[in-house]
Structure 1
């Protein structure tokens, strides 16, 4: 049985990073670039992996996940900086650049 094994990442649409692409890093290697409001599919071998998104020198926290044969995992990424927090963006970037972006696994799994 030949089942597809991959992850899909969706990026929230946000004013703050509208014109910037995020690099998607898996196991430390850049696997693609995702633009505002887009989805990205990455075929992966089953096993344990680490995912992170990056723009310039700012990154998300790393997220460890296990991908099984024939499984599709979905992730969502973006920036938690919205609303009034936009006023503090410079302090956020300089103070803790690893919190400028986020990546999280969505609950839905399908084979």
Structure 2
């Protein structure tokens, strides 16, 4: 699918998988640059709302800053043939990709965090 930008005012409302991946990578690199002491951080982390904003930042810091195992829960939509997915969907896919490359444990659950299924 070719993704064309949709702009409302001065805000682009369209997501792009490569842009989201680059954003996640830049956050990971910034976290690594801090040189956090892994012995002082958490070992296992549950993040509810892990796909963007503070939740994604917390998950990146826990995993790439401290080497923690992470479980992220979020509610996002994948892309279809006619419409791209949400930014959080692509952010989470990128996080899982980079975590796997680093040998970090990463599990993601896409669903309602308060449902019985999740």
Q: TM (normalized to structure 2)?
A: 0.27
- From the two aligned structures, give the one with the greater strand fraction: 1
Higher RCO structure (Cα 8 Å, ≥6 apart): 1
Q: Which is richer in helix?
A: 2
